[in-house]
Amino acid sequence: AMEFEELGIREECGVFGCVAAGEWPTELEVAQVITLGLVALQHRGQESAGIVTSNGASPPVYYSHKGMGLVSNAFPPEALQKLEYGNLGIGHTRYSTTGISELQNCQPFVVETLHGKIAVAHNGELVNAQKLRKQVMRHGVGLSTSSDSELIMQLLALTPPMEELDTPDWVARIKNLMTETPTSYSLLVMHQDVIYAVRDPYGNRPLCLGRLVPSSRLQGAGGETGSAETEGWVVSSESCGFQSIGARYYREVLPGEIVQISKHGVKTLSVVPRPEGDPPAFCIFEYVYFARPDSIFEGQMVYSVRQRCGRQLAIEAPADADVVSTVPESATPAALGFAQQAGLPYVEVLCKNRYVGRTFIQPNTRLRQLGVAKKFGALTDNFAGKRVVLVDDSIVRGNTISPIIRLLREAGAKEVHIRVASPPIRFPCYMGINIPTKEELIANRPEFENIARYIGATSVVYLSVEGLVAAVQGGVASREEKDAVIGGKASRKGGHCTACLTGKYPVELEW
């Protein structure tokens, strides 16, 4: 996990929207709900955050606030006051993939169209952005930022050929956008009194819906709540924040689905199909690394998938060892799964100092060499004289794990076996994840031939691609999926994008 933190494999964004149900002006603090929703998505981007709320009138009045840094910095109390008259709104937390990190690139974007203002928040990266930028500019539209999201907004603002001048057909416009670009986007579009939630036909990025229920109902048992019990609807990149805002998980937005969220509820307007025979392509790295472990995708909790990855790893790559552990925090479920499967005790070998920021400046060589020791203390009693299996979720370049192995060996570990709960990353991602260049990835370097010696481990084994796919699909709800996996058809990327591991991209790349 540290690998990612320091070397910038990053998911680029999180989106969150909220619509109050019942009478407007609403009693629901929409801006507050969105802020808390973004805090729960903070792991998806720490660079900037923005919220646009609307009174939903026609024409609507928009209130907007954007800020750099973490949500808590970007939204001081006075900023929330500025947003407090909203009956609906959308928010965004950003890590830049395309586009430099400046406030002008901070979403949501707002634009005037023939039919009034729209606001757009987007997670993903358009595979054919270059081509689309030229297309938009040919229409005489200037682009003021380098981000894909502005491009999406301009494509939505262009009138589709069949539209009458006085009645905007937003479904037609969104479909038009979806035929222009196949992937990757989860998109929130706010217009007048509704939010359109859109997931690309390949379902590459996640998006789900939640129902806000009165706090008195949350304590009670599950069960469906009547519509009178619904205070509003939320839409989010991940479901992990739902508890913190008093929402219940409702369902995922399906690949290609256009959902309209209004004060009256949630309604499917259309589902745009993929080209014949193409399977869906949900990013498998959401499960491996990006998502918060308490999020639900495809009917299963991310934590459980990571645990299955660990079990699978123990089956594929057992080790003669005494204890199993991990580099805190993100690979813990995989390490627990490995330990259960291997029948070995799980112990903690490292204690993390949570106050060391990532941006700690190392003024001299001595401090630079002590880098890892600033971040971790060794819990010597748990492993001195023992053979340790250290489970990590990914090794990208190999230069962060070696000092940790050294730290453990100096503190008395007899052997250190590294087990990686995901396959080696070998290829760049064009779907919105910032992966280092091909040359920088250790899996493509000569050192990889003897990676154990290179990083100072007793042995190193990665999970196989088939193992990862089996672990992920083992819990996917539908029966057919399971049959497909058992029937060995999983190699058809059965519903998941594994491009960074296999080089098989879900769509032809156009440059």
How high is the pLDDT of residue 256? 97
Q: Which of 13, 18, 240, 309 is catalytic?
A: 13
pLDDT tens for residues 157-202?
887 767 776 667 889 999 999 999 989 999 999 999 999 999 999 9
In a domain, 78, yes or no: yes
Looking at the structure, do residues 221 and 254 belong to the same domain, yes or no? yes
End position of a domain, from candidates 260, 276, 292: 276
Reported as a pLDDT band with limits 50, 70 and 90, residue 4 is very low
For residues 204 and 181, what is the distance between their CA atoms, to the nearest angstrom? 13
Q: Is 208 annotated as a binding residue?
A: no
Please state the rounded mean pLDDT for residues 279-303: 95
In a domain, 511, yes or no: no
User: What is the reported pTM?
Assistant: 0.91
Q: Is 500 annotated as a binding residue?
A: yes
Least confident of 245-249, 272-276, 396-400: 396-400
In a domain, 5, yes or no: no
Reported as a pLDDT band with limits 50, 70 and 90, residue 412 is very high
Contacts of 506 (CB under 8 A, 6+ apart): 183, 202, 204, 278, 279, 281, 431, 493, 497, 499
For residues 338 and 312, what is the distance between their CA atoms, to the nearest angstrom? 8
Q: Are 216 and 246 a contacting pair, CB within 8 Å? A: no
Looking at the structure, do residues 341 and 230 belong to the same domain, yes or no? no
pLDDT tens for residues 329-362?
889 999 999 999 999 999 999 999 888 655 444 4
Least confident of 276-280, 376-380, 412-416, 428-432: 428-432
In the block, tokens 């304590």 appear at: 219
Looking at the structure, do residues 265 and 348 belong to the same domain, yes or no? no
How high is the pLDDT of residue 455? 96
How high is the pLDDT of residue 150? 86
End position of a domain, from candidates 225, 260, 276: 276
For residues 463 and 310, what is the distance between their CA atoms, to the nearest angstrom? 9
How high is the pLDDT of residue 224? 55
Most confident of 1-10, 111-120, 299-308, 428-437: 299-308
CATH of the domain at 120: 3.60.20.10
How high is the pLDDT of residue 329? 86
In the block, tokens 């750099």 appear at: 68
Q: Is 351 annotated as a binding residue?
A: no
In the block, tokens 């509003």 appear at: 232
Tokens, residue 410: 């100096």
Please state the rounded mean pLDDT for residues 51-58: 96
Looking at the structure, do residues 160 and 248 belong to the same domain, yes or no? yes
In the chain, the percentage of residues whose pLDDT exceeds 70 is 86
Of residues 178 and 373, more confidence is placed in 178
- Choose among 251, 249, 241, 240: nearest CA to 199: 251
**pLDDT higher than threshold 70 for residue 34:** yes
Task: Determine how many CB atoms are found less than 10 A away from the CB of residue 199.
Answer: 30
pLDDT tens for residues 261-282?
999 999 999 999 999 889 999 9
Helix (H, G, I), strand (E, B) or coil at 310: helix
- Give the CA count within 13 Å in the CB-facing half-sphere of 65: 20
DSSP assignment of 86-151, as one string? -SEEEEEEE--SSS-SSGGG-S-EEEEETTEEEEEEEES--TTHHHHHHHHHHTT----SS-HHHH
**pLDDT higher than threshold 70 for residue 101:** no
Q: Are 378 and 349 a contacting pair, CB within 8 Å? A: yes
Looking at the structure, do residues 242 and 168 belong to the same domain, yes or no? yes
Q: Is 429 annotated as a binding residue?
A: yes
**What single-letter amino acid sits at 288?**
V
How high is the pLDDT of residue 336? 98
Asked about 13 being catalytic, the answer comes back as: yes
Q: Is 330 annotated as a binding residue?
A: yes
In a domain, 481, yes or no: no
Reported as a pLDDT band with limits 50, 70 and 90, residue 27 is very high
- Note the residue count of the chain: 511
In a domain, 374, yes or no: yes
Least confident of 52-56, 275-279, 463-467: 275-279
**pLDDT higher than threshold 80 for residue 443:** yes
Rg (CA), the chain: 24
| Number of structural domains the chain divides into | 2
Please state the rounded mean pLDDT for residues 221-245: 83
**pLDDT higher than threshold 90 for residue 489:** no
How high is the pLDDT of residue 361? 47
Least confident of 16-25, 168-177, 278-287, 406-415: 168-177
Indicate the average pLDDT of the chain. 88
In a domain, 436, yes or no: yes
Looking at the structure, do residues 336 and 261 belong to the same domain, yes or no? no
In a domain, 336, yes or no: yes
How high is the pLDDT of residue 477? 55
Most confident of 54-58, 114-118, 216-220, 395-399: 54-58
Q: Is 459 annotated as a binding residue?
A: no
Please state the rounded mean pLDDT for residues 301-311: 97
Looking at the structure, do residues 83 and 116 belong to the same domain, yes or no? yes
Reported as a pLDDT band with limits 50, 70 and 90, residue 204 is very high
Residue 46: φ, ψ to 5°: -120, 15
For residues 352 and 358, what is the distance between their CA atoms, to the nearest angstrom? 13
Looking at the structure, do residues 148 and 41 belong to the same domain, yes or no? yes
Q: Are 3 and 400 a contacting pair, CB within 8 Å? A: yes
Looking at the structure, do residues 227 and 318 belong to the same domain, yes or no? no
Q: Is 169 annotated as a binding residue?
A: no
Looking at the structure, do residues 149 and 81 belong to the same domain, yes or no? yes
Reported as a pLDDT band with limits 50, 70 and 90, residue 145 is confident
Looking at the structure, do residues 152 and 119 belong to the same domain, yes or no? yes
CATH of the domain at 401: 3.40.50.2020
Structural domain span for residue 111: 12-276
In a domain, 477, yes or no: no
Looking at the structure, do residues 262 and 398 belong to the same domain, yes or no? no
DSSP assignment of 409-474, as one string? HHTT-SEEEEEESSPPP-S--SSSEEPPPTTTSGGGSGGGGGHHHHHT-SEEEEPPHHHHHHHHHT
In the chain, the percentage of residues whose pLDDT exceeds 90 is 67
Strands 323-326 and 387-392: parallel
For residues 38 and 163, what is the distance between their CA atoms, to the nearest angstrom? 35
How high is the pLDDT of residue 100? 56
Give the distance from CA 483 to its chain's centroid: 28
